[in-house]
Amino acid sequence: MTQETLLQTLRAEFGAAVTGPDPAAPRRLLLDVERARLPEIARRLIALGARYQVGVGSDDRARGLGFGLIHLFAFDKSGFTTAIRTSAPAETPEFPSITPDIPVAGWTEREYRDLLGFRFPGHPKPKKLILADDWPDGIYPLRKEVPYNLVPPAAEDVAYQLDEAPPGTTMVPVGPFHSSLHEPAHFAVYVDGETIKGCDYRGFMTHRGIEKLCQTQVSYNEIPFVAERICGICGSVHATAYAQSVEEAAGLAVPRRAEFIRVLMLELERIHSHLLWLGVAGHLIGFDTVFMHAWRVREPVMWLSERITGNRKTYGMVVLGGVRRDISPETAEDIRSVLKKVEAEVLGLKAAILKDSLIHKRTKGVGHMPKAEAERWSLVGPVARARSIDIDARRDHPYAAYNELSFDVPTADSCDVWGTVLVRLLEVFESVKIMRQVLDKMPAGPILAAPQEALPAFRHGLSMVEAPRGESVHYVITGEENRPERWRVRAPTYTNLQGVPRMLLDNQFADFPIIVGSIDPCYSCTDRAVVVERGTGRERVWDRAELTTLSRAGGK
């Protein structure tokens, strides 16, 4: 299928309910659809083989357009994406819910319920997702009239109402702070004995208001540095994805050499991230030898990043129109020698752990989720590839220099945690392969073509970048004041985390950490959205001295 045939199909079936495509997004099929027929059209797109990515809500009242909601769909096999846009009048921001058909749209709709005050009749779980429990009703932080630094008064005695426990089960809370999760997230796990029968998730405790901040305060070329700080591990992914989406929207050409250098940094990041994950996974199943040695192997990669970019992480390489630092011939040699060493070490690591029966026992059949279910929940990245869903944004929707590079996309068909271990380990070798090709094929030339004039306003740009943990989606609508009008970030964990309750079902409670860990969760990426939160009021405040005494007294 091509964009044209899809457009014809939709026009034939829905007639005047589908208009467009809007020239504001030249490379993407941006269609306006009738609000009432949104679920029907979304359902049809899924039936045609689309994968739901995310929704982008926007406040366009200043332009007299009411509220907008764009749902993004990717056709991975055919290599294109489409966006369907609906709008609602400012007084009644009501959109029909597509969640009953597409469960993974659930968070998107809940997010805009919180942030823009949209209403979604028919949503199966219309609960708070993003905002703090004590956030007052009727204030929607992403609306333009709400200042970016608004702090409403805190309220006491409000708490999130967890889902009701299924009959015959007991609730075990995991989090908000838990030793195996490293970041704040609250799972209410419903267990029958040791077996998990259900799970409710309350996260978004680390909002930093990045989207709102960047839409109101900083300028285009400062955002790559803010974007990089969305995630501590795949920062370069977010910076690149942001830059690419603005470049697409504004029609900026990027020098070829810069695109190769971007690929180099993305793959270097993938190697370090997969080794980090492997170590953490070993730690989560109590196998600390793996943890120690995966991280030992990873360390030369961090030092290499430091030599190339000036920092171990947050490389700061990407700006609009290119990259900031070139790769000299000496650096290229340095990279080759580190790659050689890392490849040999990872081979050794793979040989030493993949046949270990302990790892097999702790991962095989654990977190089982059949392919059909994984597709229904739109899983991305290694989590999907471990369930034989052969998707990879690098190959399906090539960006930067990936169209010139050859690599395999490893998949597994075990549909469990074991598959994710295998896929990630094999991907390290693919990354090494890609980096070697980059060094061989990189053309000479400039590394930066800085924009010379103001970027056009109200153009749309979309970028998908395959982060180590899956596909990151950035959507930018350019604005007038040297900053985006709307910038939507969807980290891979945002979709994968929604599938976790299904993965946990009927597993042993002791496997909870490794199942959640298998998606390589990154809560700070997912929680990136809006407005600094304040803690909910507690009945009693323990100060540090009291807590110290309490912990030393053994909890008595």
Q: Which of 88, 218, 302, 409 binds other proteins (CB under 8 A)?
A: 218
**Based on CB atoms, which residue is closest to other proteins, 56 or 349?**
349
> What pairing do the DSSP bridges indicate for beta strands 322-323 and 318-319?
antiparallel
**Based on CB atoms, which residue is closest to other proteins, 5 or 289?**
289
Both tokens assigned to 232: 């501590």
**Based on CB atoms, which residue is closest to other proteins, 94 or 334?**
334
Q: Which of 309, 463, 495, 498 binds other proteins (CB under 8 A)?
A: 309
Return the closest-CA partner of residue 535 out of 49, 205, 216: 205
**Based on CB atoms, which residue is closest to other proteins, 305 or 498?**
305
The stretch among 69-77, 164-172, 266-274, 305-313 that binds other proteins (CB under 8 A) is 305-313
Min dist CB 418 to other proteins, Å, is 15
Min dist CB 297 to other proteins, Å, is 9
Q: Which residues contact 452 (CB under 8 A, 6 or more apart)?
A: none
Q: How far apart are CA 177 and CA 243, in angstroms?
A: 34
Q: Within positions 500 to 539, which residues make up the interface with other proteins, using CB under 8 A?
A: 532
Q: How far apart are CA 171 and CA 156, in angstroms?
A: 24
Q: Which of 144, 182, 296, 441 binds other proteins (CB under 8 A)?
A: 296
CA 136 and chain centroid, separation: 28
Q: Within positions 464 to 493, which residues make up the interface with other proteins, using CB under 8 A?
A: 482
Q: Which of 22, 222, 373, 375 binds other proteins (CB under 8 A)?
A: 222
**Based on CB atoms, which residue is closest to other proteins, 28 or 528?**
528
Q: Which of 3, 19, 314, 508 binds other proteins (CB under 8 A)?
A: 314
Q: Which of 61, 143, 178, 324 binds other proteins (CB under 8 A)?
A: 324
**Based on CB atoms, which residue is closest to other proteins, 235 or 499?**
235
| Contact between 277 and 424 (Cβ < 8 Å) | yes
Q: How far apart are CA 533 and CA 152, in angstroms?
A: 10
Give the CA dihedral 459, 465, 471, 473, nearest 10 degrees: -20
Torsion sign across C-alpha atoms 379, 382, 388, 389: positive
53: contact with other proteins by CB under 8 A: no
| Contact between 144 and 61 (Cβ < 8 Å) | yes
* Residue 489 CB neighbour total at 10 angstroms: 25
Q: Which of 170, 217, 337, 406 binds other proteins (CB under 8 A)?
A: 217
273: contact with other proteins by CB under 8 A: no
Token look-up 């939709």 returns 10
Min dist CB 207 to other proteins, Å, is 14
Alpha helices in 165-322 (DSSP H): 210-216, 223-228, 235-250, 256-284, 288-309
> What are the C-alpha distances in Å from 522 to residues 56, 103, 198, 207, 231?
21, 21, 22, 13, 7
Q: How far apart are CA 469 and CA 522, in angstroms?
A: 9
* Residue 540 CB neighbour total at 10 angstroms: 5
| Contact between 418 and 426 (Cβ < 8 Å) | no
Min dist CB 292 to other proteins, Å, is 8
* Binding pattern for the stretch 350-379 against other proteins, x by CB under 8 A and - elsewhere: -xxxxxxxx---------------------
Secondary structure letter of residue 392 according to DSSP:
-
**Based on CB atoms, which residue is closest to other proteins, 358 or 454?**
358
The stretch among 17-25, 35-43, 98-106, 309-317 that binds other proteins (CB under 8 A) is 309-317
Q: How far apart are CA 521 and CA 512, in angstroms?
A: 13
Which long-range CB contacts under 8 A does 280-288 form with residues at least 24 apart? 280/182, 280/517, 281/417, 281/421, 281/514, 281/517, 281/518, 282/353, 284/180, 284/513, 284/514, 284/517, 285/358, 285/359, 285/362, 285/363, 285/514, 287/356, 287/358, 287/359, 287/362
**Based on CB atoms, which residue is closest to other proteins, 5 or 219?**
219
Min dist CB 172 to other proteins, Å, is 30
Q: Which of 128, 325, 364, 436 binds other proteins (CB under 8 A)?
A: 325
Min dist CB 412 to other proteins, Å, is 19
**Based on CB atoms, which residue is closest to other proteins, 35 or 312?**
312
# residues near other proteins by CB under 8 A = 47
| Contact between 67 and 57 (Cβ < 8 Å) | yes
Min dist CB 288 to other proteins, Å, is 11
* Binding pattern for the stretch 132-161 against other proteins, x by CB under 8 A and - elsewhere: ---------------x-xxxxx--------
**Based on CB atoms, which residue is closest to other proteins, 194 or 481?**
481
Q: Which of 316, 322, 381, 419 binds other proteins (CB under 8 A)?
A: 316
289: contact with other proteins by CB under 8 A: yes
Give contact residues for other proteins (rule: CB under 8 A). Answer: 147, 149-153, 217-219, 221-223, 225-226, 229, 289, 292-293, 296, 299, 303, 306-311, 314, 316, 324-325, 348-349, 351-358, 482, 532, 541, 543-545
